[in-house]
Structure 1
């Protein structure tokens, strides 16, 4: 069991007010809030051992290097990667996806196929479209169903010898649907294709085991798992990371440089050109320590309780429709009420101190499927409470009354 009152004390921002009301933060799918222990780690780095890493013999550089590489090992253990060098630290999920797409630009051939799901965030659509434009490969889509799940029969039919890559999110950011990635990975490997899993929305709720999943690539962002912005994680199987060319050229990723020829460093440095977000990497490890201290099973169970509690009350509001009704969901509720624009509801909720997300959530194809401009999205975390949900429900009712 989680001690929610004690947990809330760990997050300074939860003490503030917005528009004269206590902050209720239900935009966790966009960015989680940051516990004091992570803030302290960032301050400690800049106050006590700020230095560039991997390049200096002086004490500060060695201390920073040790802390950064210790964070990499924490991340490796969290995801159960086979080796620390299979963890590439990036600027975020989007950066990680583009790194892989850039690498496959030298491998993919004209007429070969790549497959994405209809439930993707734009960051797991656009890079693959760009890749197909460069290579002449063909982009295909796994369609979605009315309940916001993937059409697995259509997926099975899309598997072919021409298929080389499959890209699918572990959890839909717009709907909260947990996709059957184990089945997708297993079936895709049968035709010899690789799989990249976008885990940005899953990692706040689920502790993925990349070896058990047999994922070729798994990507996520630190700012959704109690870490800082500007940091991401790319896990890649060693065989794939060795095969792909570097994404960027510069310092750190080299072995030898001459004007005649340059050779590249081994993993992970081959993909980490330039000075990284050092304190961000260190703080990411601290954020994972914090969440693992709470226990991901405990987090998932409590957040599901919040989801069921909020869903039941929302469905009692006349004219309200929830989009994404899979039985397997994380703590995300996307909804509209009648013909009221989601932006208008979100604006009124903000006046009441309640932070939700409105719009298409960078998942425009999903909104086009439902023929809507967007939704109101409330996303819950382990530091939220049922009392906050009660206030949120009252706020939605108030907004509907004002806008009807």
Structure 2
């Protein structure tokens, strides 16, 4: 792949920050957007801006076709069996909340157990905490290994006859750990438990086949995979979604409204109350097309090369601590701390050089406690990043270290 040619598809990469060429190393928070996605959304607003599922006029028909075409594209991208298994949400967080509130309330009873682990984003802990409170259930945590991975023996020990739901991330947004979801799903199902996966950090970067993984639910966001903000996907097995009640009510999701009660329409629209994210679905569709043109395996391989190179360069810096597994076991991100430099100061110093990294607790405070740190810095990579950018990042890290270690 010609990465420099790919970079030309991203207008923002031509911007300057503090007088320096932008080096964007914060894709784990939000990826940048290629021109094809921007143009697709602009075309919707310019040419066929209309509501969906509501009218028979030409604009409404064209908008509905585009909206449902995107759903079919998502179905194919993650290899779901049926388009009815693809539910539009506002993002990963909303998707997980839907599962916890609707399916969780359906299957969890007092005394049941919900299995999670410490590497989870808050979006995959807090909804389960609240479910446990509502139902009198218990949260059970799978312990982490010293290198920030999960051992399957620990999974087997955590899951028991009391387990009803296993909620786990596919890829950690802090450690870069890639969990063996297929094996964990097999263990969960052997105990008649269900598995719900946070796939926000996986779907943009590696091939995901929900049928092969045999997950019951899988959630991800458009804005982390070159698409727009404000749209996400919940995949759920149709037989489970059929049993679930909506948690939002109003237009479009109804079948018939009587004076004192209502009935719901078919999957997946029964979970999509109100005017949906139409332009965002159009943008997500264009993003998936773009990823398919590049090839998800090519994206994965490029990231592996970048993270291995960055890991080696960073490991050579005295006083740096890198969290999580080794370079061959992680996805395309590196979370770290530099001795004597607060992560926020580090991020500010790098920003002065035009380099964008994330600093803070990354919405993963239990994991920060496990890391024995209040906050960390994170550099995350994607298809538009280059070796030359990593070299500039390393040079800026060295300059920052030297500045903060200087005795005035």
- Give the TM-score range, shorter chain: over 0.9
Find the aligned partners of 2:332 and 2:349 in 1 and give their Cα distance. 22
Matches within 5 A, 1:37-48: 37-48=36-47
Alignment of 1:310 with 2:310, yes or no, is yes
SS at structure 2 position matched to 1:52: coil
How far did residue 177 of structure 1 move?
0.7
- Alpha-carbon distance, 1:40 to partner: 0.1
Aligned equivalents of 1:260 and 1:367: distance in 2?
Answer: 49
Answer yes or no: is the 8 Å Cα contact 1:118–1:150 preserved in 2: no
Name the counterpart of 1:342: 343
* SS of residue in 2 equivalent to 1:105: helix
**Are 2:59 and 1:60 equivalent residues in the alignment?**
yes
8 Å Cα contact 1:185-1:214 kept in structure 2: yes
User: Contact 2:340 / 2:404 at 8 angstroms: preserved in 1?
Assistant: no
| Number of residue pairs matched by the alignment | 403
Number of the residue aligned with 2:205: 205
How many angstroms apart in 2 are the aligned matches of 1:61 and 1:307?
Answer: 45
SS at match of 1:384: coil
List per-residue Cα deviations over 1:371-401 (Å, max 9, x = no partner): 1111110000111001100110010011111
2:329 maps to which residue? 328
CA drift of 1:94 comes to 0.2
Aligned to 2:171: 171
Which consecutive residues of structure 2, in runs of 5 or more, have no partner in the other structure? Answer: none
Map of 1:382 onto structure 2: 383
Q: Which residue of 2 aligns with 1:10?
A: 9
Q: Higher mean Cα deviation, 362-371 or 66-75? A: 362-371
Q: Tell me which moved more, 325-334 or 115-124.
A: 325-334
Q: Which residue does 1:366 correspond to in 2?
A: 367
CA distance in 1, matches of 2:107, 2:189: 17
How far 1:370 moved relative to its partner? 1.8
When structure 1 is superposed on structure 2, of 4-13 and 369-378 the one drifting more is 369-378
1:252 is displaced (CA, Å) by 0.7
Q: Distance in 2 between matches of 1:200 and 1:148?
A: 19
Secondary structure (helix, strand or coil) at the match of 2:75 reads helix
Partner of 1:397: 398
- Please state whether the residue corresponding to 1:28 is helix, strand or coil: coil
In the alignment, the residues of structure 2 paired with residue 305 and residue 114 of structure 1 have an alpha-carbon distance, to the nearest angstrom, of: 37
5 Å-filtered alignment, 1:124-273, equals 124-273=124-273
1:98 counterpart residue number? 97
Alpha-carbon distance between aligned partners in 2 of 1:12 and 1:260, rounded to the nearest angstrom: 53
* Distance in 2 of aligned mates of 1:152 and 1:340: 36
Q: Deviations over 1:270-303 (max 9, x none)?
A: 1000101101011101101101110011111111
Matches of residues 77-96 of structure 1 in structure 2 within 5 Å? 77-96=76-95
Q: Does structure 1 retain, via aligned residues, the 8 Å contact 2:107–2:164?
A: no
Shift of residue 106 of structure 1?
A: 3.3
Q: Deviations over 1:174-213 (max 9, x none)?
A: 1111011111000100000000010000111112100111
- Provide the rounded CA distance (Å) in 1 between the counterparts of 2:119 and 2:75: 28
Counterpart-to-counterpart distance in 2, 1:148 and 1:358: 19
Task: Measure, in 1, the Cα distance between the counterparts of 2:187 and 2:9.
Answer: 43
How far apart are residue 365 of structure 1 and its match? 1.0
Residue in 2 that maps onto 1:113:
113
Could you tell me the TM-score, scaled by structure 1's length?
0.98
- State the 1:339 CA deviation: 3.0
Aligned twin of 1:31: 30
Query: 1:153 deviation in Å?
Result: 2.3
Structure 1: runs of 5+ lacking an equivalent? none
* Deviation (angstroms), 1:58: 0.8
User: Given the alignment of the two structures, is residue 20 of structure 1 paired with residue 25 of structure 2, yes or no?
Assistant: no
Compute the displacement of 1:348 (Å): 0.2
